[in-house]
Amino acid sequence: EIVMTQSPATLSVSPGERATLSCRASQSVSSNLAWYQQKPGQAPRLLIYGASTRATGIPARFSGSGSGTEFTLTISSLQSEDFAVYYCQQYNNWPLNTFGQGTKLEIK
Amino acid sequence: EVQLVQSGAEVKKPGESLKISCKGSGYSFTSYWIGWVRQMPGKGLEWMGIIYPGDSDTRYSPSFQGQVTISADKSISTAYLQWSSLKASDTAMYYCARRPGTIPFDYWGQGTLVTVSS
């Protein structure tokens, strides 16, 4: 099983600033990495797939990068609606597509 | 519009059986995998298993193999997750989600909260 490790567990950032979230895979997942956003009481929402492709309707302030084992989600200028929990997921290893444990992005 | 609509919240006792559902609409139900994801209270997302309704090909996470059963009825565009004997540790929110062939879960159901308590 591929283990996905996200850091930090909690990130405190002020609105308007940049946030950088990290995700590391225990073995290479190529570019088969997705990011999801989950707000309280809601289902997760797909933000990024293929490590860097924004899903339909996702604002350009969200960007993803990386390949192999190291990945980054960057939110360029935080809006109030961006404070949420973010999960990475590898989908290189079929069918067990494991999730990271999540990073909570909170208002500083 | 693509939609996945899940059945409502359930409260059950340990040892009881349960089957929850996920109905797809707005797309060809038989052409996309449907996965199930568990989220225990205050915790992260866990990939449980996945089914291809077109031919009922089903795969499970080793952590959930033998603990749950995933099935689908393509005639009514509905996927299911079932337990034969619930435990208190099955208390969680369960999500279904659609997986296109080459990208991960793009549409999610609203979730079904399962509470198991004596």
Option in B37, B49, B104 nearest A46 (CB) = B104
Q: Do B109 and A91 touch (CB under 8 A)?
A: no
The Cα A9–Cα A11 span in angstroms is: 7
CA distance A46 to chain B (A): 6
Looking at CA atoms only, how far is residue B18 from chain A in angstroms? 22
DSSP per-residue letters across B71-104: EEEGGGTEEEEEESS--GGG-EEEEEEEE-SSS-
Looking at beta carbons, which residues of chain B come within 8 Å of A103?
Answer: none
Task: Look at residue A96 and tell me whether its pLDDT is greater than 90.
Answer: no
Q: pLDDT digit string (tens) for A25-70?
A: 999 999 999 999 999 999 999 999 999 999 999 999 999 999 999 9
- Contact list in A for residue B50 (CB cut-off 8 A) is 95
- Each residue's pLDDT tens digit, B62-83: 999 999 999 999 999 999 999 9
Say yes or no for a CB contact (<8 Å) between A49 and B59: no
Q: Which of A38, A96, A102 sits opposite B47 (nearest CB)?
A: A96
Q: For strands B92-99 and B10-12, give the pairing.
A: unpaired
Full DSSP string of B26-66: SS-GGGSEEEEEEE-TT--EEEEEEEETTTTEEEE-TTTBT
Mean pLDDT value across residues B20-45: 97
Q: For A67-83, write each residue's pLDDT tens digit.
A: 999 999 999 999 999 99
Give how far A99 is from chain B: nearest CA, Å. 6
